[in-house]
Amino acid sequence: EVRLVESGGGLVQPGGSLRLSCAASGFTLSSYEMNWVRQAPGKGLEWISNISSSNMNTHYAESVKGRFTISRDNAKNSVYLQMNSLRAEDTAIYYCATGGSCINGFCDNDLYFRHWGQGTLVTVSS
């Protein structure tokens, strides 16, 4: 069974930093692109970042570019989101989610979010 468990959320002051983790199990993490998606309280979903299976390519939403960094450690079956210069508008539940897969050099177009974690809440407030 595929399982994604986020951790690292909490209360942080504006301008502060947090590092979120996503622990993956039940599948070969190294074969999958991974994403972070967030949801502000009472609002819709916002994709914020992803990282390729090979760790070579990353993408970011404009709202977090230059402040957030996505990374992964396939040996530890984990994906991370380093969040710096946090703002009140970054307050949200942060979900990690699987994306497309690359197996034996063949990458599919299944870039949607099939599996999701339960989310971790980040609150930015003084």
Partner 1 sequence: DIQMTQSPSTLSANVGDKVTLTCRASQSIRSWLAWYQQKPGKAPHLLMYKASILESGVPSRFSGSGSGTEFTLTISSLQPDDFATYYCQQYNSYPWTFGQGTKVEIK
Size of the site for partner 1 (CB under 8 A): 22
Residue of 16, 47, 82, 123 interacting with partner 1 (CB under 8 A): 47
SS3 state of residue 89: helix
Answer for which of 66, 75, 106, 109 binds partner 1 (CB under 8 A) is 109
Is residue 112 close enough to count as binding partner 1 by CB under 8 A? yes
Structure tokens at 125: 């407030």
SS3 state at 91: coil
Phi, psi angles (nearest 5°) of residue 63? -65, -20
Candidate list 9, 36, 51, 117; residue touching partner 1; CB under 8 A: 117
CA distance 10 to 114: 26
Using CB under 8 A, which of the segments 18-26, 69-77, 79-87, 109-117 binds partner 1?
109-117
Distance (Å, whole) CA 2 – CA 66: 31
Here the tokens at position 88 are 């009140």
Nearer to partner 1, 109 or 126 (CB): 109
Pick from 2, 85, 111, 125 the residue near partner 1 by CB under 8 A.
111
Instruction: Read off φ and ψ for residue 109, nearest 5 degrees.
Output: -105, 15
Chain positions contacting partner 1, by CB under 8 A: 35, 37, 44-47, 50, 59-62, 95, 109-114, 116-119
